[in-house]
Amino acid sequence: MRIPVPDEVVPADRLGRVHFVGIGGAGLSGIARIMLARGIEVSGSDGVDSPTLDALRALGATVHVGHDASHVGDADTLVVSTAVREDNSEYLEAVRRGLRVLPRSTALAAVMAGRRVVAVAGTHGKTTTTSLLTVALQAAGADPTYAIGGELSATGVNAAEGSGDLFVAEADESDGAFLHYAPYAAVVTNVDADHLDQWGTPEAYVAAFDRFVETVDPAGFLVCCVDDPGAAALAERARAAGRRVVEVTVRQPHALAGVTLWSPGDHYLADALAAHATGVALGFGPAELAAGIASYTGTKRRMEPKGEVAGVRVYDSYAHHPVEIAGDLQAARALAGEGRVVVAFQPHLVSRTRIFGTAMGEALGAADEVVVLDVYLAREEADPDVTGALVAAAVPLPAERVAFVPAYDEVAAALVARARPGDLVLTLGAGTVTAIAPRVLELLADA
DSSP H helices, 140-182, are: none
Under DSSP, is residue 99 helix (H, G, I), strand (E, B) or coil? coil
Query: Is 427 one of the annotated binding-site residues?
Result: no
Is 300 designated active site?
no
Task: Please enumerate in sequence order all residues whose Cβ is within 8 A of that of 248, keeping only pairs 6 or more positions apart, or say none.
Answer: 223, 224, 225, 226, 254, 270, 273, 274, 276, 277
Selected catalytic residue, list 41, 93, 151, 170: 170
Q: How many residues does the chain have?
A: 447
Strand ranges (DSSP E) for 129-206? 145-147, 159-160, 166-170, 185-188
Q: Could you give the strand order of the β-sheet that contains 100-103, starting from the edge strand earlier in sequence?
A: 62-65, 42-46, 18-21, 77-80, 100-103
Query: Is 127 one of the annotated binding-site residues?
Result: yes
**Orientation angle between helical segments 266-281 and 322-336, nearest 10 degrees:** 110
Query: Is 125 one of the annotated binding-site residues?
Result: yes
Query: Is 201 one of the annotated binding-site residues?
Result: no
Q: Could you give the strand order of the β-sheet that contains 145-147, starting from the edge strand earlier in sequence?
A: 159-160, 145-147, 166-170, 116-121, 185-188, 221-225, 245-248
The residue among 328, 393, 408, 323 whose CA lies nearest residue 361 is: 393
Selected catalytic residue, list 52, 77, 82, 127: 127
Query: Is 124 one of the annotated binding-site residues?
Result: yes
Is 145 designated active site?
no
Is 127 designated active site?
yes
Query: Is 299 one of the annotated binding-site residues?
Result: no
Selected catalytic residue, list 52, 90, 126, 173: 126
Query: Is 306 one of the annotated binding-site residues?
Result: no
Task: Please enumerate in sequence order all residues whose Cβ is within 8 A of that of 333, keeping only pairs 6 or more positions apart, or say none.
Answer: 341, 366
Binding site listing: 122-128
Binding site listing for ATP: 122-128
Residue positions annotated with a catalytic role: 126-127, 170
